[in-house]
Amino acid sequence: MCGISGYYNRKCNFGVQQLEKYVKVLSHRGPDGNGTFYDMNSFGEVGLAHTRLSILDLSESGKQPMRFMHLTIVLNGEIYNFRTIQKELIGMGYNFISSTDTEVVLKSFHAWGLRCVDKFRGMYAFAIYDSIMSQIYLCRDRAGVKPLYWYKGEGLLIFGSELKIFFNTIGFDARVDKNSLKTFLNYGYVTNDSTILKDVFKAQAGAWTIFNLENNEISILEYWSFSELFEMKKYSGSFEDAVEEVELLIQQSCELRMVSDVQIGVFLSSGLDSSLLTAMLQKERTDKVKTFTIGFSDGVDESKDAETIANYLGTDHTTYDCCLKDAMELIPELAKFYDDPIADISCIPTMLVSKLSRREVKVAITGDGGDELFGGYDGFKTTPALFNRMKNIPFKKAIGIGAELVARHFIDHENFYYKKLNGLSKTLLSQNLDQIYQFHILKSGLPEGIINNLLLNPGNIIPHNRRNVKLSETLDDLFILGFEDIFRNLLLVKTDRATMAFSLEGREPLLDNNLMAFAASLPFSYKNNGMLSKRPLREIVYKYLPKKMMDRPKVGFDLPIYQWLKTDLKFLLEDYLGTENTKKDKYFNLEYVQKIKKQFIAGSFRYPSVIWRLMIFEMWHREYFS
């Protein structure tokens, strides 16, 4: 796990000193070493930089940037099946000087070109510079676990693992994108491949982003799509056979992710996903697996249940109880690591469990993906029932038009009932897949009046990408929307930044591409039958843990952050949303900010998440623009 960055500059005014800036700002992603590559060709200068977190082949032979003939690579991530691919390449006549997956990726690209990614099982973001073809190839893994950002100007390409590199690029004009800001306030993150910075984009997951040095053009070639998995033929076997296949795929995925030259631990909540992974890993080992849990005595506390599970499985378990002091110390640091800001309160405990784990291990297994693949959220249960009722509503179109007409009479677009009526009309008047899309967007977003009143110059909400797919089950759109947007742009970002803040590598067995493909092929009812969610995972975990130990209501990380902001942390609220601070950035209506802040403190503001999102943005803006 590492930090990567680089550039192409036709003006030739960056030099090695620019690469040294990148190394410095990404050092937390790779504190074990660093390296740079610089080349001047007929089109301009090319630079690559790398910061290394040593996991495989701890020797100097694993150092990056790594070169082979006319190709130079910087890679962040892990190719878990690299040894199998290496054997194939050796059979083709390739020699290897290291035991790293980086060298395997580099020579796979030399051997198979763009199709090399078809062989990779893992999480990765890498850049390859081809000095003969005069092209830079950026590539990101299928799920989008590992981050990669890019900017293209006239005769210029800049790319890297985090947005920090753009703020530290000579002459780069960093500006807030007003559409992204509006989207951030609405959802708490920026959707799709946009970022909070104008003209800076996330590299598309499951795709190559190819920059041609000669003509300054970028092309994007998709090699994998989560949504297209649902177009494949549905699984026709029994539920019992499906459970056996899921268990086998998870076992294989877990074992692949245990390949390491350093010690590995597990993030253990008391939830189904992490408990299952811990149980599988411990069963295959005589040594005790190290597990880590964060508790919250002031909030929703799963630590006691996690300890019970750890004791039953016989792991080497560590618990840390998060308190107000921890939050007080960490909140001002959030913007430093979440440089493409997200306003998810669970960033705090995720960073704390990462910090706790890093004291003993360098790699941590996470349970990310179980809910997204197997229908674990409440919406997978409630939405099908809702839409079945909607199908049987008589005069549906007339009711939708009526709701739209009534909504128009609301002058106050902050009104809760306006939001409900507006959402009802758009949902009833939409067709098929659009109904689920509109329902989700309007449910998760804020009343438009709040955002428009907040912003001095309101932009547009960035719509969620809708792929043109033909689904065998309409409700599969729930999986696609949840995975391709919320999971990829919010939850995976949260985990990556939290772990890398403490130079910890997170690994995700439930996001193996073979498992993702099989999960997509399962009928909806095999995953969620309206009464039970994540059905295959439940059946498997019962083999390892007592049913009564696992059959508890689903809970998530929860901190009483809004209560703290009214009391012990009120000084932070006043600091970031005080009159003087919000005057400076010129994005917000100062009077309106003060109005909703007072309502929040009084307990009369219906949407407290707006306050947290405003605070996060102000922290971020102060960190990078002051």
- With a cut of 70, say whether residue 193 has pLDDT above it: yes
- Give residue 468's identity as a one-letter amino acid code: N
Among 36-50, 245-259, 411-425, which is the least confidently predicted range? 411-425
Query: If pLDDT is split at 50, 70 and 90, which confidence band does 38 have?
Result: very high
- With a cut of 90, say whether residue 5 has pLDDT above it: yes
Measure the CA–CA gap between 14 and 12, rounded to whole angstroms: 6
Alpha helix stretches (DSSP H) within 221-299:
226-229, 239-256, 272-283
Dihedral through CA 58, CA 59, CA 65, CA 66, nearest 10? -110
Query: If pLDDT is split at 50, 70 and 90, which confidence band does 476 have?
Result: confident
Measure the CA–CA gap between 94 and 73, rounded to whole angstroms: 17
Query: Between these two residues, 398 and 456, which has the higher pLDDT value?
Result: 456
Element of type H or E holding 44: strand 44-52
So what's the pLDDT on residue 291? 95
So what's the pLDDT on residue 273? 94
State mean pLDDT over 231-238. Answer: 92
Summarize pLDDT for 136-160 with one digit per residue, the tens.
999 999 999 999 999 999 999 999 9
So what's the pLDDT on residue 1? 64
- Point out which residues pair with 2 in neighbouring strands: 52
So what's the pLDDT on residue 531? 85
Element of type H or E holding 46: strand 44-52
Element of type H or E holding 526: helix 524-527
Measure the CA–CA gap between 545 and 542, rounded to whole angstroms: 5
So what's the pLDDT on residue 420? 65
> DSSP letter at 223?
-
Sheet with 200-202, strands from edge to edge, namely 33-41, 44-52, 2-9, 156-160, 149-153, 200-202
**SS3 assignment, position 317:** strand
So what's the pLDDT on residue 449? 83
* Count of Cβ atoms closer than 10 Å to residue 209 Cβ: 24
CA distances from 151 to 72, 173, 216, 498 (A): 20, 11, 12, 24
Measure the CA–CA gap between 590 and 577, rounded to whole angstroms: 9
User: What φ, ψ does residue 431 adopt, rounded to 5°?
Assistant: -115, 135
State mean pLDDT over 49-55. Answer: 85
Measure the CA–CA gap between 127 and 8, rounded to whole angstroms: 12
Query: Between these two residues, 110 and 402, which has the higher pLDDT value?
Result: 110
Measure the CA–CA gap between 509 and 292, rounded to whole angstroms: 17
- Burial class of 287 by CB neighbour count within 10 A (0 to 12, 13 to 18, 19+): exposed
Q: Which residues of 398-417 are buried (b: 16+ CB within 10 A; e: fewer)?
A: ebbeebbeebeebeebbbee
CB-based contacts of 378, cutoff 8 Å, min separation 6: 554
Measure the CA–CA gap between 351 and 357, rounded to whole angstroms: 10
So what's the pLDDT on residue 304? 86
Measure the CA–CA gap between 187 and 596, rounded to whole angstroms: 18
So what's the pLDDT on residue 610? 94
Query: Between these two residues, 367 and 410, which has the higher pLDDT value?
Result: 367
Nearest residue to 429 (alpha-carbon basis) of 447, 421, 480: 421
Quote the Cα angle for 61-32-21, to 5°.
Answer: 105
* Count of Cβ atoms closer than 10 Å to residue 380 Cβ: 22
State mean pLDDT over 163-181. Answer: 95
- Point out which residues pair with 124 in neighbouring strands: 77
Summarize pLDDT for 207-221 with one digit per residue, the tens.
999 999 999 999 999
**Pairing state between β 200-202 and 149-153:** antiparallel
So what's the pLDDT on residue 262? 75
CB-based contacts of 132, cutoff 8 Å, min separation 6: 70
- With a cut of 70, say whether residue 50 has pLDDT above it: yes
Nearest residue to 145 (alpha-carbon basis) of 345, 366, 351, 476: 366
So what's the pLDDT on residue 375? 92
- With a cut of 80, say whether residue 388 has pLDDT above it: no
Among 145-149, 244-248, 287-291, 401-405, which is the least confidently predicted range? 401-405
- Give residue 264's identity as a one-letter amino acid code: I
User: What φ, ψ does residue 50 adopt, rounded to 5°?
Assistant: -145, 135
Dihedral through CA 516, CA 518, CA 523, CA 529, nearest 10? -60
Measure the CA–CA gap between 258 and 243, rounded to whole angstroms: 23
CB-based contacts of 364, cutoff 8 Å, min separation 6: 264, 265, 266, 267, 292, 354, 357, 499, 504, 505, 506, 507
Summarize pLDDT for 18-27 with one digit per residue, the tens.
999 999 999 9
Mean pLDDT score of the chain, rounded to an integer? 88
- With a cut of 70, say whether residue 394 has pLDDT above it: no
CA distances from 457 to 433, 451, 588, 591 (A): 32, 10, 8, 15
Quote the Cα angle for 235-511-534, to 5°.
Answer: 55
State mean pLDDT over 432-460. Answer: 75
CB-based contacts of 302, cutoff 8 Å, min separation 6: 269, 270, 271, 293, 295, 555
Query: Between these two residues, 399 and 274, which has the higher pLDDT value?
Result: 274
Contact present, 109 and 101 (Cβ < 8 Å) = no
So what's the pLDDT on residue 379? 79
Summarize pLDDT for 330-379 with one digit per residue, the tens.
998 999 999 999 999 999 999 999 999 999 999 999 999 999 999 988 87
**Pairing state between β 363-365 and 264-267:** parallel
Query: If pLDDT is split at 50, 70 and 90, which confidence band does 383 have?
Result: confident
So what's the pLDDT on residue 113? 97
- With a cut of 90, say whether residue 200 has pLDDT above it: yes
Could you tell me if residue 123 is left (phi over 0), alpha (psi between -120 and 50 degrees) or otherwise beta?
beta
- With a cut of 90, say whether residue 249 has pLDDT above it: yes
Strands, E assignment, 289-438: 290-296, 316-322, 363-365
Query: Between these two residues, 424 and 486, which has the higher pLDDT value?
Result: 486
Measure the CA–CA gap between 5 and 149, rounded to whole angstroms: 9
**SS3 assignment, position 571:** helix
Contact present, 34 and 3 (Cβ < 8 Å) = no
Length of the chain: 626
CB-based contacts of 551, cutoff 8 Å, min separation 6: none
Summarize pLDDT for 284-343 with one digit per residue, the tens.
788 899 999 988 776 667 788 889 999 999 999 999 888 888 888 899 899 999 999 999
Q: Considering just the CA atoms, what is the radius of gyration of the chain in Å?
A: 25
How many CA atoms does the CB half-sphere of 408 hold within 13 Å? 8
- With a cut of 60, say whether residue 411 has pLDDT above it: no
Chain-centroid distance of CA 194 in Å reads 13
Reading the block at residue 84, the tokens are 């199998």
Largest CA distance in the chain: 74
- With a cut of 80, say whether residue 425 has pLDDT above it: no
Query: Between these two residues, 386 and 494, which has the higher pLDDT value?
Result: 494
Contact present, 622 and 577 (Cβ < 8 Å) = no
State mean pLDDT over 587-609. Answer: 91
Contact present, 520 and 226 (Cβ < 8 Å) = yes
State mean pLDDT over 553-561. Answer: 69
- Give residue 501's identity as a one-letter amino acid code: A
So what's the pLDDT on residue 442? 65
So what's the pLDDT on residue 440? 65
- With a cut of 80, say whether residue 406 has pLDDT above it: no
State mean pLDDT over 169-196. Answer: 94
